[in-house]
Amino acid sequence: MRQSQAESRRQNVAKRSMTKEVKQLSGLIAGLRESLEGIHKQRASAKLSGAEMGLLDERRNNLLLTIAALDDRLSAVQGLIDLGRPHVIRVH
């Protein structure tokens, strides 16, 4: 009985931790999408040299890759929560 209570407690702690991570990831992704919109506006409205355009394109590509990676992580965490299989993620 005690072991199942301890396991249940660990599951609850993990679920809270993962729910917090989902909120953090969602906020971070939203901020990056705003930055992406800013780049699109800069690119469209100003007279830019080829080098400046290239820098904006590189920043845009980096943001898109970062957003995709964070979206994948968000999806994985939400999937574990939905399956009822939360776990504490240890980062070394």
Dihedral angle, C-alpha 34, 39, 43, 46, nearest 10 °: 90
Check whether 92 has a pLDDT greater than 50. Answer: no
Q: pLDDT tens across 55-76, in order?
A: 999 999 999 999 999 999 999 9
Q: Which two tokens stand for residue 9?
A: 């407690």
Contacts of 78 (CB under 8 A, 6+ apart): 22
Nearest CA to 25 out of 62, 76, 88 is that of 76
What number of H helices and E strands is found in the chain?
Answer: 2, 0
Q: What is the pTM of this model?
A: 0.80
Q: Which two tokens stand for residue 22?
A: 């989902």
Check whether 82 has a pLDDT greater than 90. Answer: no
Rounded mean pLDDT, 42-49: 86
pLDDT for res 10: 83
Between the alpha carbon of residue 23 and those of residues 17, 50, 69, the distances in Å are 10, 38, 16
d(CA 86, CA 18): 7
